Structure 1
Amino acid sequence: MSTGALLTRAGRAAISLAVAYTISFLAMAFAPNPNAGPLGYVPRSFATTYQQPRFAKQAASLLEQFLAWAVRLLTLDLGSIETYTGVMSITSMLVDSLLVTLIYLIPAAFIAIVAGTVVQLLAVAVERGDLTKKATVLGAAAVATPVFLFAYLIHIYLPVFVFRLTNSIVELGYDSQAGPLRPRNLRAMLWPFFTMTAYLFAIQLRAAGADLSQYAGEPFVKTARAKGVGVWGICRHVFPHSAARLLTVLSSEMLGIVLVGLYVVEWVTRTPGFGTLTIDAVGSRHPGLIFGVVLLPVLVVVTVNFLQDAYYELIDPRVDPVS
């Protein structure tokens, strides 16, 4: 892939963001606002909803509003919103909610990715041809299980585990008045942490199994076994062949599934992270908030895909990603 191809993909990324913004704007322009009536949505993350008429019913033309919001997005001027502790800028709220999510999601993702990959590597290294298939089927079944069931089971057993560990009743609810790094809030994040760890482990078990299973019967694996190479030695031989593909699957193909799971988990566990804020944004109809929660995941996806293409071009040019 040439530098020109990378520039082309960067242009596609910009177009993707523009399309996502346009679709969001048109939805705000023509969809009726349920909060304009006496019965509206009650958000968890803040105190008020957007009660103005849709863009198509406002005094300024749609083109003027479209361009004005485009400039505001580029300058991160998304407006402000009234919370239970005072008025707060929407940009700051997005940053704070994203911080809450990342505090538990990053370690959950790391543990799940490492554990899922290691399990599938061991399934390949062990001389049992059906083991990789069984592990892959197990991962597929776990992915098919609704993520809120993981959250429900952890909600039942986590307080019991904490009680037995500490021999006392510990408050596990999130305190929105305190910072995310306070001990109580870190304890509260155990619920979404364990839920997302189990969910992401299932995703990785399925993704790694689908890719690594092809190496179970490869000649170099059989030769390594015949020479008496240990299980971990075979794992070290197999992993480099699949590392780039696993990176592709994790960074792009599975990202949408992870985001959907994130929204469900945070809403069920009452965690004031990015997933909860996204649901509140849709229900409250605040334009700046909606544009922020829609465009930020799109920005992450297109950035990750662009970095993936750059990796193939600059570091591993043997692999040519599908255009």
Structure 2
Amino acid sequence: MRFLSLAGRRLAAALPALIIILAGLFLLLQLAPGDTVDALVAQVGGSDPTMIEELRRHYALDQSTSVRLGDYLWRLLHLDLGHSAIYGKPVADVIVERLPATLLLMGSSLALAFAAGMALGVIAARRVNRWPDTLISTLGLIFYATPSFWFGLMGIFVFAVYLGWLPAGGFGSIGADPHGLSLVLDIAWHLTLPTLTLALIFLAIYLRIMRASMLEVATLDFVRTARAKGLSDTAVVTRHILRNALLPMVTLLGLQAGTMLGGSVVVECVFALPGLGRLAYESVMQRDLNTLLGVVFVSALLVIVINFVVDLLYVRLDPRINGGR
């Protein structure tokens, strides 16, 4: 019951946040110069004023901002994301085509950053103030301070152009039609460089948090009690220190979900991946308001779902948390 109560409260708090995000973005986009009709006219090289007026009436751009916002929120309640003027089909179809690439990129990057950051953080904490700690901390600082697009460009130059080990971009081999395991391996091969590029900066954050958390938990009373009982150092670390040190890592996992989605925009553009990040960039450039709002809607849902799962996982990891609070 406590678990279900917490889940219900988290979902109830997420719905107003989602509406505020979409309404705020809709109003902000009205301040940007140009609209969908301007982008369409620019693509065809110009048009007469009568045709432009008809297009604005067709896309309801002749109505007031408040009316269009109300109409959009009403359609959203019916899960209607609208029609993309640039791609010529429903926004939901466009997003469904692009979503798998982003989910795979985010999932693989998050898993790599979390696992490697946790392992390196534990090693640094166990060898504090010695050369492994110095080396890992220095690498973490370098990864955190270096922009992700620079890692991507250098990865393309070294591993794709110079060495020829990995593809420079794309989501699959051009002209090939793999199936089954061959398809999985082909996608994994193309996602290797993008995953490393997106994961490095988050790996640096996780290893620093894990190191600091391990060192803090190691000084608490229950750890000293466990050592006084005669438990081995490995048992103390795995049974007592590690589980409690993971709590800040799990919290950070949910907080970094939105940041990782933002980072995927840069990575997908660098590696020409057909994901939501690149779709958002193309929608901004082409003033496709419906598609951009649809991307933001799905992205916000992803962040809310990830934070929801993290909250529930946190309750399982820390029994002290009461769902009634």
**TM-score normalised per structure 1:** 0.75
- Work out whether residues 124 and 131 of structure 1, in 8 Å CA contact, stay in contact via their aligned partners in 2: no
2:208 corresponds to which of 206, 209, 212: 206
Segments of 5+ residues of structure 2 without an aligned counterpart are 44-53
- Work out whether residues 98 and 273 of structure 1, in 8 Å CA contact, stay in contact via their aligned partners in 2: yes
The corresponding residue for 1:116 is 117
Alpha-carbon spacing, 1:53–1:24, altered in 2? closer, same or farther (3 Å) = farther
What is the alpha-carbon distance in structure 2 between the residues aligned to residue 16 and residue 224 of structure 1?
A: 46
- Cα drift, residue 90 of structure 1: 1.6
Alpha-carbon spacing, 1:248–1:318, altered in 2? closer, same or farther (3 Å) = same
- Cα drift, residue 100 of structure 1: 0.9
- Work out whether residues 102 and 275 of structure 2, in 8 Å CA contact, stay in contact via their aligned partners in 1: yes
The corresponding residue for 2:50 is none
Segments of 5+ residues of structure 1 without an aligned counterpart are 41-50
Alignment size in residue pairs: 305
1:76 corresponds to which of 67, 79, 92: 79
- Work out whether residues 117 and 210 of structure 2, in 8 Å CA contact, stay in contact via their aligned partners in 1: yes
What is the alpha-carbon distance in structure 2 between the residues aligned to residue 87 and residue 229 of structure 1?
A: 65
What is the alpha-carbon distance in structure 2 between the residues aligned to residue 224 and residue 160 of structure 1?
A: 53
What is the alpha-carbon distance in structure 1 between the residues aligned to residue 213 and residue 234 of structure 2?
A: 18
What is the alpha-carbon distance in structure 2 between the residues aligned to residue 193 and residue 302 of structure 1?
A: 22
The corresponding residue for 1:188 is 190
What is the alpha-carbon distance in structure 2 between the residues aligned to residue 156 and residue 222 of structure 1?
A: 53
- Work out whether residues 101 and 274 of structure 2, in 8 Å CA contact, stay in contact via their aligned partners in 1: yes
- Cα drift, residue 248 of structure 1: 0.8
The corresponding residue for 1:148 is 149
1:213-260 CA-partner distances (Å, limit 9, x unpaired): 3134456269649958355762443211122321111112x2233222
- Work out whether residues 140 and 208 of structure 2, in 8 Å CA contact, stay in contact via their aligned partners in 1: yes
1:191-233 CA-partner distances (Å, limit 9, x unpaired): 2122123233223223323322313445626964995835576
The corresponding residue for 1:250 is 253
The corresponding residue for 2:300 is 298
What is the alpha-carbon distance in structure 2 between the residues aligned to residue 13 and residue 319 of structure 1?
A: 20
The corresponding residue for 1:31 is 32
Q: Does 1:96 align with 2:97?
A: yes
Identity %: 24
Alpha-carbon spacing, 1:189–1:320, altered in 2? closer, same or farther (3 Å) = same
Q: Which moved more, 1:25-34 or 1:213-222?
A: 213-222
AA partner of residue 199 (structure 2): T
- Work out whether residues 132 and 209 of structure 1, in 8 Å CA contact, stay in contact via their aligned partners in 2: no
- Work out whether residues 109 and 197 of structure 1, in 8 Å CA contact, stay in contact via their aligned partners in 2: yes
Q: How does 1:191-270 map to 2 (within 5 A)?
A: 191-218=193-220, 220=223, 224=227, 229=232, 231=234, 234-252=237-255, 254-270=256-272
SS at match of 1:270: coil
- Work out whether residues 129 and 217 of structure 1, in 8 Å CA contact, stay in contact via their aligned partners in 2: no
The corresponding residue for 1:274 is 276
The corresponding residue for 2:51 is none
What is the alpha-carbon distance in structure 1 between the residues aligned to residue 212 and residue 33 of structure 2?
A: 44
AA partner of residue 157 (structure 1): V
SS at match of 2:30: helix
AA partner of residue 22 (structure 1): A
- Cα drift, residue 61 of structure 1: 3.6
What is the alpha-carbon distance in structure 2 between the residues aligned to residue 31 and residue 79 of structure 1?
A: 20
